[in-house]
Structure 1
Amino acid sequence: MQLERALDSYLRHVTIERGLSVHTVSAYRRDLGAYVEWLGAEGVADTAEVTPAIVGRFIAERAGAEPRPAASSLARLQSSVRGWHRFLAREGIEDDDPSGRLRPPKAPRRLPKALTIDQVERLLSAPSPEEPLGIRDRALLELLYATGARVSEAVGLDVDDLAHGDVLRLRGKGSKERIVPIGSFARKAVDAYLTRVRPQLAAAGHSSARLFLGARGAPLSRQSAWLIIRAAAERAQITAEVSPHTLRHSFATHLLQGGADVRVVQELLGHASVATTQIYTHVSVDTLRDIYATSHPRAR
């Protein structure tokens, strides 16, 4: 199949049939667009002409490019290429998968950065309780820490997703839904926002079912949520880097430190594999090591 047609077919597949997020599909489009462009420059016009040697040469060139790509970026590129060729073979468009022998580079394991409980409390208390947007921001921060939701999941919430009392319905990657508890602090903050602030914001814009709204009544964006978190960190005088994922990392770490089972945390986070969740157990082990080093008389 002609390269561009084959790429369009795959992108439709991952968008419609697999239901991947806009951001994931954009990453595939970016990676595979570069691959198709490279193939064209090499004189390859059809997917039937791609051989294992050609795929290997493309990855090798990318790995040796300057500036040197991060292992995680190279692994994602390989995954994109393999996914495309696997799809073409599975659909019978091509007889073989020329990427079958690719082995992704081993990305260095980065432990997620979690805030201390004191830092979290300062962060949650940072928004002004006297200002309407401060009440909204407090509700957003409390909800993120209480549920471990991704920022995209939080801003994608509808008001009806709160209709289950002390639990919340989240839509994760691939449109998969999960139910998570929402603690009393977060529920109180969200109720205050719904009662005192959201009606005013909704009146300022077009009707929207989204839970979190911006100052003009439009649904709150991921970028706006990121700015809210960063502003709260500055007000709380937290010098550690605070990213949109920090409260999710802190949620998981504090649960495990409190004795929660890793499989329960896996369900709460919406991870498909427990192996993804187990990275947080390393954070807890590091904490235990620090406590041991400062507390045991013969640790030093």
Structure 2
Amino acid sequence: MKEYCSEYRNYLRFQKAVSQNTLDSYTRDIDHFLDFVIIKKLKGPEQVTASIMEEYVQSLTDRQCSISTITRNMASIRGFYQFLILNGKTLQNPAKAIRLEKAQKKLPQILSGEEIELLFAQPNISEAKGCRDKAMLELLYATGIRVSELVELNVTDINLHTAMLCCNRNGKTERMIPIYSTAIAAVSDYLFRVRGMMIGPEGGQALFTNLNGRRLTRQGFWKIIKGYAEQAKITKEITPHTLRHSFALHLLENGASLKDIQMMLGHADISSTQVYVQLMNDHFKEVYNHCHPKAKLGAG
């Protein structure tokens, strides 16, 4: 039965060209689901009914999985069944009958300009690691790219002379993003002074490598930014996307159009970009209530 999971993984990797993170997440969800099918003593996923699927959802609830985790699991399973139907393994998709409570969307945390400067002041650029880390932080905030896109960058993707970054993740639509001068300076310092010492035989053309000389991973960067946030005593919840969200909101606050921000972020649908309008409105409301004399009186 587990061969279905292997076939689906190959389908996602070679035909759908999903990112490594998405591939791992979907595979893990399907693997857990097939474990449940085996426990139920079914011969295969084609024997799963809507009622059995409801039992599986209940089992996730019993394990205290969040609504967002259960929703992601069901999305993975729906896609898996579409693959099975496409390949003649089954005729129905029992996951389609499941209706879940909608998870409340949590607005992302945004760093202020002062917090950005504080975070960027933490790496010790006299050391190789600190020089690399400063370059990565500056480049993320300069371009708004995803952390998964950052670690996939090659040396040839950045043009120091034109101050432009070419982001072409998984062969999808190419994005050309400008880079501000201090970020270019930080990346140049890393490239000409440090990268040659850090890169190993397995690093290839990777722009950023770990201390073992291999291409840096998303998890590796996550540990780095968390460490600097703690060092800077920033109490906000920091995620791998924090600098991406801050990039977008700060552009919007300073007059950039949603369409331009959408293009730079690589959002397929502008509705994904519109969350920053809500964030900006919430921010302005907070400033108003804190600063307007009449609003302050009302709050008392």
- TM-score greater than 0.5 by the shorter chain: yes
- Judged with a 3 Å threshold, the aligned counterparts in structure 2 of structure 1 residues 226 and 51 are, in CA distance, closer, same or farther, namely closer
- For 2:57, the equivalent position in structure 1 comes to 59
Task: Find the counterpart in structure 1 of residue 47 from structure 2.
Answer: 49
Q: Is the 8 A contact 1:112 1:280 kept in 2?
A: no
Is 1:267 aligned to 2:287, yes or no? no
Aligned pair 1:192/2:189, yes or no?
yes
> Do residues 181 (structure 1) and 171 (structure 2) align?
no
> Could you tell me whether the CA contact under 8 Å between 2:120 and 2:134 is conserved in 1?
yes
Q: Deviations over 1:11-36 (max 9, x none)?
A: 22111100112222222222111211
Q: In the alignment, does 2:161 pair up with 1:143?
A: no
Matching residue's letter, 1:241: E
**Deviations 1:266-285, CA, capped at 9 Å, x for gaps:** 22222222222222222111
Q: Please tell me whether residue 129 in structure 1 is matched to residue 125 in structure 2.
A: yes
Unaligned runs of 5+ in 1: none
Q: 1:85 aligns with which of 76, 81, 86?
A: 81
**Structure 2: which amino acid aligns with 1:108?**
Q
Name the CA shift for 1:95/1:133 in 2 (closer, same or farther; >3 Å): closer
Give the 3-state SS of the residue equivalent to 2:177 in structure 1: strand
CA shift, 1:137, in A, is 1.6
* Displacement of 1:106: 0.7
| Structure 1 position 201 matched with structure 2 position 176 | no
TM-score scaled to structure 1, two decimals? 0.89
Determine the structure 1 residue equivalent to 2:166.
169
The letter of the residue matching 1:166 is A
Q: How many residues align?
A: 295
For the structure 1 residues 201 and 43, does the alpha-carbon distance in structure 2 shift closer, same or farther, using more than 3 Å as the test? closer
Q: Structure 2: how far apart are the matches of 1:9 and 1:56?
A: 25
SS of corresponding position for 1:179: strand
- 5+ residue gaps, structure 2, are none
Out of 104, 107, 111, the residue aligned to residue 111 of structure 1 is 107
Q: Which runs of 4+ in 1 moved over 4 A?
A: 173-176, 204-207
1:120 paired with 2:116, answer: yes
Checking the alignment, whether the CA contact within 8 Å between 1:78 and 1:104 is kept in structure 2 is no
TM-superposed CA distance for 1:251, in Å, is: 0.9
> What amino acid maps onto 2:93 in structure 1?
D
CA contact (8 A) 1:148 1:251 kept: yes
1:207, distance to aligned residue in structure 2 (A): 5.9
Q: Percent identity?
A: 36
Q: What is the Cα deviation at residue 45 of structure 1?
A: 0.6
Measured against aligned partners, the alpha-carbon deviations of 1:71-119 in whole angstroms (never above 9, x if no partner) come to 1101011111111112222333322222222234311110101110011
Does structure 2 conserve the Cα–Cα contact (< 8 Å) formed by 1:205 and 1:216? no
User: Which amino acid is the alignment partner of residue 186 of structure 1?
Assistant: A
Contact 1:79 1:104 (8 Å CA) reproduced: no
Indicate the residue corresponding to 1:276 in structure 2: 272
Q: Secondary structure at the match of 1:298?
A: helix
Report the CA distance between 1:52 and its aligned residue: 2.2
TM-score, normalization by structure 2: 0.89
Look up the equivalent residue of 1:11 and give its one-letter code: R
The aligned amino acid for 1:183 is Y
Give the distance between the partners of 1:235 and 1:34, measured in 2 at CA. 37
Against the structure 1 CA distance between its residues 129 and 32, is the aligned structure 2 distance closer, same or farther, given a 3 Å change threshold? closer
